[in-house]
Amino acid sequence: MYKITGDKVLSYEIRVRLPDGSRYRERRESPARTRSATERWVQERQAHLLAHGKEVEARMPCPTFSEFLPRWWDARTKLKPSVKALYTNNLKADLTPFFGDMRLDAIGIEAVNKYAAQKSHKAAKTLNNEIRQLKSVLRLACDYEVLARVPNIKGVAVVHREPDFYTTEEFEVLLAAADNPIACAIILLGGEAGLRSGEMLALTMHPECIDHKRGILVIRKSIWRGHETSTKTGVERKAPATPRLLAALKALKGQPLGTYKTLQYQLRRVQKLAGFAAHGKVHSVRHTFCTRLFSAGVAERHVQELAGHATPGMTKHYTHVSEAQGRAALLAAFSRGNSGSTASGGSVSH
């Protein structure tokens, strides 16, 4: 016989007669987190004791994905609100419905491949984020010795497309269409300082981070749905501010930019006034900042620091754009000077 007690911390007690005829009582804290998992564990433990005696080492049967999740959440104590919301949504909408009833030791390459095939309508980057979260659960299970090893799960191939950006001429047209201080500040904070949308919102809420004398912006916070957090990489950085960016920030007179929807609305409106596609993507002006730095010959390492990229790989996306711009400029220059004839008037031959 056995019984299970406790609420937050479950305990069990087993009383059996061993194969040698002796009576045995075992009372311990449950290695499982839920009552149903504890009951399965106790039943298996009791069966072992009845068949083999107390010398047999107690081993917890491998829990399912859903059963192990509470322990995984307990280990995630310092998540930013945006990351916690992403993880919660991934689990609720996709990972738990598919993997929830699977034992952890049954989740391998084949299962993940089936999952990826079922979710093939999703963007590769989104799908890889979900797979990384799944691997995080499996790694912790391995660390806790619940799982023997982590399978060699790989993400899906990602095709990087060139980021949206404005050329120097287009950026000036966009800026000229900004007809209020908030719109002007948004465009310059993204296009001449490389701030993300959340960093823009946080900066204008902390005027002490704007050094007008030295022309420096200290970027140490971000805003996500009203929550103030650290920057995306968790690292503070400093960005030089151009004179017209400082002037635009002064023109705000201490007024915060508002919310993310404010940024989108203002940019969309200005894009429409300037005759551009009115998508309202604030990141397009940040892309412009990175692209212009490469076009100006700034070293990749410095671009990474100024943009606040966590890895050089993120920065490399913009090298392709600047190289393409350089090739286009070169071809345009040579096409003007070479109209199919040499300087002496003869045709070009190979």
What does the pLDDT read at residue 256? 93
Q: How far is CA 80 from CA 89, 223, 310, in A?
A: 14, 11, 16
259 in the same domain as 189: yes
114 in the same domain as 226: no
What does the pLDDT read at residue 131? 96
What does the pLDDT read at residue 19? 87
188 in the same domain as 120: no
Burial of residue 56, with CB atoms counted within 10 A of its CB: 0-12 exposed, 13-18 middle, 19 or more buried? exposed
186 in the same domain as 318: yes
User: Looking at the domain assignment, is residue 159 inside a domain?
Assistant: no
271 in the same domain as 180: yes
Going by C-beta distance under 8 Å and a sequence separation of 6 or more, which residues neighbour residue 115?
98, 99, 131
User: Looking at the domain assignment, is residue 60 inside a domain?
Assistant: no
Alpha helices (H) in 65-162, listed in sequence order: 65-74, 81-90, 96-99, 109-118, 124-143
What does the pLDDT read at residue 345? 39
User: Looking at the domain assignment, is residue 155 inside a domain?
Assistant: no
CATH number of the domain to which 217 belongs: 1.10.443.10
What does the pLDDT read at residue 258? 92
What does the pLDDT read at residue 144? 85
Give the range of the structural domain holding residue 127, as residue numbers without chain letter. Answer: 65-143
206 in the same domain as 126: no
Q: How far is CA 320 from CA 123, 290, 313, in A?
A: 21, 12, 12
User: Looking at the domain assignment, is residue 339 inside a domain?
Assistant: no
Number of domains comprising the chain: 3
Residues of the chain with pLDDT under 70: 55-60, 319-350
What does the pLDDT read at residue 289? 92
What does the pLDDT read at residue 60? 61
User: Looking at the domain assignment, is residue 151 inside a domain?
Assistant: no
What does the pLDDT read at residue 350? 36
Each residue's pLDDT tens digit, 32-44: 778 888 888 889 8
